[in-house]
């Protein structure tokens, strides 16, 4: 019963965070996204600055394929074969040719999508161009009360927000329409980048110009609550291991 209670608790936390944050989950709650974000920030300038926007459809394709295969095979296909983060969380013990292939896939995807490509592009490649869960979370941006809006009266089409968006959620069409794509993770990078303050957090149903700073605070407050609730134990565990490493020379 304890195991079921833990699972139920996580589902309630996920559902609550999803309804409040939408795909903001990926920027503010998902601890895996920290790897992607961290490597993407190591360089000041991107070596690869142009990526075909058609790649943004890949997460949806991956989502459809794994849902169909998982239903057909009655097994979690993504977790067994495609999750890059198995490399750093639950690395498969190599006991057969199958597990060897799985290990090679996990390491290759992690190095390519989480390390190398973010370093070269300064973008969150795993989150923006591969993760099927991120695509699924995007659907909840439709029911979430917060979004990112662009005040067209203030915007001068400098495209800095487009170039800085880590998840490919802004394009020229967005700037003209005044709103981000459904895949927006509400990380706030575009808000901080805009030199004219034209990009803001927004509460749906209110005027774009109205209390944008308040909208950001109202979004960030529950974001930190959910981040602490879901990641708090992992943060404490990580800090404990670091203290042990410094004081004893071993994390265990």
Q: What is the pLDDT of residues 131-180, one digit of tens each?
A: 999 999 999 998 889 999 999 889 999 999 999 999 999 999 999 999 99
- Give the Cα separation of 163 and 155 in Å (integer): 15
Q: What is the pLDDT of residues 203-234, one digit of tens each?
A: 998 888 777 788 999 999 999 888 887 776 66
Res 235 pLDDT > 60:
yes
Mean pLDDT of the chain: 89
Identify the DSSP state of 147: E
Which pLDDT belongs to residue 59? Answer: 97
Q: Please report, for residues 29, 39, 151, 192, the alpha-carbon distance to residue 34 in angstroms, rounded to integers and kept in the order given.
A: 9, 9, 30, 19
How confident is the model at residue 251, as a pLDDT?
A: 59
Q: Model pTM?
A: 0.86
The candidate with the shortest Cα–Cα distance to 89, out of 71, 73, 107, is 107
Above 80 in pLDDT, residue 1? no
Q: By C-alpha distance, which of 28, 4, 2 is closest to 16? A: 28
């Amino acid at each position: 019963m304890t195991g079921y209670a833990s699972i139920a608790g996580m589902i309630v936390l996920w559902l609550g965070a999803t309804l409040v944050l939408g795909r903001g989950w990926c920027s503010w709650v998902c601890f895996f996204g920290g790897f992607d974000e961290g490597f993407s920030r190591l360089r000041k300038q991107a070596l690869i600055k142009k990526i075909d926007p058609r790649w943004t459809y890949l997460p949806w394709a991956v989502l459809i394929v794994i849902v169909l295969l998982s239903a057909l095979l009655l097994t979690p296909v993504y977790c067994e074969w495609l999750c890059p983060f198995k490399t750093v969380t639950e690395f498969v013990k190599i006991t057969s040719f199958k597990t060897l292939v799985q290990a090679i896939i996990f390491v290759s995807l992690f190095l390519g999508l989480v390390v190398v490509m973010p370093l070269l592009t300064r973008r969150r490649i795993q989150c923006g161009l591969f993760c099927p869960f991120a695509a699924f979370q995007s659907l909840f941006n439709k029911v979430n009360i917060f979004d990112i809006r662009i005040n067209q009266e203030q915007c001068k089409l400098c495209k800095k927000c487009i170039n800085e968006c880590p998840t490919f959620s802004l394009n020229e069409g967005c700037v003209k329409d005044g709103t981000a794509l459904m895949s927006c993770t509400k990380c706030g990078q575009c808000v901080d980048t805009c030199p004219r303050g034209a990009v803001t957090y927004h509460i749906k149903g209110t005027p774009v110009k109205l209390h944008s700073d308040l909208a950001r605070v109202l979004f960030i407050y529950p974001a930190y609550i959910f981040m602490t609730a879901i990641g708090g134990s992992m943060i404490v565990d990580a800090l404990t291991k670091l203290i042990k490493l410094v004081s004893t020379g071993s994390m265990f």
